[in-house]
Amino acid sequence: MLSDVIAAIATPPGRSALAVIRVSGRGAHAIAATVLRPFAVEPLREARLTEAVGADGEPLDRPLYVVYRGPASYTGEDVVEISTHGGLLVPAEVLAALGAAGARPAAPGEFTRRALQNGKLDLLQAEGVADMIDATAPAQRRAALSQMDRGLSARIERLREQVLEVEALVSYDIDFPEEDSGPVAPERIAAATTTLEHALEGIRGTARDGERLREGALAVIAGRPNAGKSSLFNALLGSERAIVTEIPGTTRDAIEAPAVCDGFPFRLVDTAGLRESEDRIERLGIEVSRKYLSAADLIVFCAESGRDLSADEEKAIGEFPAPVVLVRTKADVRGGGEGVAVSVHTGQGLAALRAELARAAFSSLAVRGDVAPVVTRARHRAALERALVEVRGFTAARRSGLEAAVAATHLRAAITALEAIIGVVAPDDVLGRVFATFCVGK
């Protein structure tokens, strides 16, 4: 049932001035016409006032509606968008009336799925839409937007072209052995391959930050018991999530919460302080802390201001597997010590800490000053890795003395890997490239 009519409230539930109900599918216009009176398909893409009536003929609301005719619509199908008054009741009643008229409630993401199926979006754009909807931090939104705009698709397409260029050089040699230009110099193929490798590495290099950008960087707050970790956690979050007492070992389990620092998304984790403990529950908590620490993108290490770090602390910092931001807590009590001085009571140093966290977790993106386009999904990274492995395989095979014609199998595999990201099957245009580059015609 791929083109049956679906309907859903497109805006978030709850109190609001307006709500938008979207109806899409074959027959969407007819179904809308039974609920909206008056209703006319034309003029398309123009907001008009109408009345929505329930199944029993009772007036529900006086909404605006806009009609789209497929394929010129978001989903590629016939679409009606109805702007009702907000709140919980009115949009739900209008939706129910549409249901009575034959529309089915849409499954999550179904509109986008249809847009994808109808060729309105490519796979990357669809993923961008999903990310856009999920985005909580401005940087996430910017990355998702650029992906929707085909920024990433365009970049992957360019990479594919670059592989095709190398493949064309090899193919020219095989398919046109008696031409004017003579054989292609191996150095030319090697140089093009190196450029390609660098380009692939470059975009793959954004994957770590990109995935972090999509999922939030895992920043784990660590330090000795009672170092002020939970207070800092609450301060960064802007709410009292963790229980704070002056009793060391209060935090037993790790608490994870999303936070935005300087526009970048974090998954902030408050952990139990690290110490030898006789308390069984606290020991379990410390175990959990260690697991978080080993998976962290960033460790926020808390130590009170105005004292030297202990040998144990120095050792712990040295052994953490992720970059460490050292925070000197309780800076209002007494100052001093290496690290970012912070007081959760006065707010001193919090802005500087947020900036430092953003820099430490998203350095490459922050430097770029622009988050587009980056690889934001593990799927993309895996495909890029495959492409890179194949391109390197080509180089290695050539070095081992294998003929280019045989080694070119790697290039074709790399092209396939990249095509899997953008989900586009294009006719093999290696020959097009050859004809554009070389004068052939024996």
Partner 1 sequence: MKTDFDVIVIGGGHAGSEAASAAARLGARVLLMTSNLETIGQMSCNPAIGGIAKGTVVREVDAFGGVMSRAADRSTIQFRMLNQSKGPAVWAPRAQCDRSLYRRAVRSILEEQPNISFQQATAAALLLEAGRVCGVQAMDGRQFTSKAVIITAGTFLRGRIHMGTTTQIPAGRAGDAPAIDIAEQLESLGLEVGRFKTGTPPRIDGRSVNYAGLDRQDGERPDYRFSAFGQTDRPDQRPCWITWAGSDVKTIINNHLQESALYGGAISSRGPRYCPSVEDKVVKFPDAERHQVFLEPEGLDTAELYVNGLSTSLPPEVQVEMLHAVPGLESAVMTRPGYAIEYDFYEPRQLTPWLEVKAIEGLFFAGQINGTTGYEEAAGQGLIAGINAVRRLNDVEPIVFGRDDGYIGVLVDDLVTRGVDEPYRLFTSRSEFRLLLRQDNALKRFGPLAAKLGMLTPAELGVLDHRLGQEQEIVSSARESRLSVAEAPALLANAGRNAAASPQTVADLVRQPDLSLKALLGAVHGPSFGPFSDEAWVSAEIELKYEGYLAREREAADRLTELASFSLRADLPYSDMKSLSTEARQKLTSTRPGSLAQAGRIPGVTPSDLQNLVFEVIRRRATAA
Binding residues (CB under 8 A) for partner 1: these are 2-3, 26, 70-71, 76-77, 114, 116-119, 123, 171, 173-181, 400-406, 408-409, 412-413, 423-428, 430-431, 434-435, 439-442
CB of 38 to partner 1, least distance (A): 27
CB of 111 to partner 1, least distance (A): 14
Alpha carbon distance 2, 70 (integer Å): 14
Closer CB to partner 1, 77 or 313, in the complex: 77
Cα 162 to Cα 168, 175, 198, 411, 431: the distances in Å are 10, 19, 11, 10, 14
**CB 52 within 8 Å of CB 35:** yes
CB of 98 to partner 1, least distance (A): 19
CA 285, 291, 294, 300 torsion-angle sign:
negative
Residues 6+ apart with CB under 8 A from 14: 88
Closer CB to partner 1, 161 or 179, in the complex: 179
Closer CB to partner 1, 180 or 201, in the complex: 180
Closer CB to partner 1, 142 or 410, in the complex: 410
**CB 239 within 8 Å of CB 319:** no
CB of 409 to partner 1, least distance (A): 5
CB of 147 to partner 1, least distance (A): 17
Q: Buried b / exposed e across 47-59, counting CB within 10 Å, b at 16+?
A: eeebebbeeeeee
Q: What phi and psi values does residue 273 have, to the nearest 5 degrees?
A: -65, 145
Alpha carbon distance 82, 53 (integer Å): 13
CB of 415 to partner 1, least distance (A): 10
Alpha carbon distance 67, 39 (integer Å): 9
Alpha carbon distance 368, 275 (integer Å): 40
Alpha carbon distance 306, 299 (integer Å): 21
Residues 6+ apart with CB under 8 A from 254: 269, 270, 271, 272, 285, 288, 289, 292
CB of 158 to partner 1, least distance (A): 19
Alpha carbon distance 156, 174 (integer Å): 27
Cα 147 to Cα 131, 141, 210: the distances in Å are 9, 10, 12
Placement of tokens 């008054």 in the chain: 85
CB of 292 to partner 1, least distance (A): 39
Closer CB to partner 1, 53 or 389, in the complex: 389
Closer CB to partner 1, 288 or 413, in the complex: 413
Closer CB to partner 1, 4 or 58, in the complex: 4
Closer CB to partner 1, 43 or 427, in the complex: 427
Closer CB to partner 1, 27 or 249, in the complex: 27
Provide the 10 A C-beta neighbour count for residue 102.
Answer: 15
CB of 188 to partner 1, least distance (A): 15
Closer CB to partner 1, 243 or 405, in the complex: 405
CB of 442 to partner 1, least distance (A): 6
Closer CB to partner 1, 295 or 405, in the complex: 405
CB of 104 to partner 1, least distance (A): 15
